[in-house]
Amino acid sequence: ADFRGAKTIYDNLGKLKKMLQNDDLDGAGIMELLKTLGEETVRASSHAEGKQAEQIKELGELLSQGVAA
């Protein structure tokens, strides 16, 4: 996607993938990264347009809710 914040989100998704592929999962680290991804995603949604902005914001909110649950 081409909006402000997309690169950071992409990079953190790569970090999350690596964390999830480790044999020894770091639950606290994964939760912290998910929280960060949720916050970044909601923030980035304000730089997207139209339906894309709504979908990005919803994803960020779901990530944040999943961490809080």
Task: Determine the residue type at 55.
Answer: Q
Q: What is the predicted pLDDT for the residue at 69?
A: 57
Residues 6 or more apart in contact with residue 25 via CB below 8 angstroms: 19
Q: Are 3 and 44 in contact (CB under 8 A)?
A: yes
CA–CA gap between residue 22 and residue 44 (Å, rounded): 28
d(CA 3, CA 15): 20
Q: Which amino acid is at 1?
A: A
pLDDT < 50 positions in the chain = none
pTM of structure: 0.78
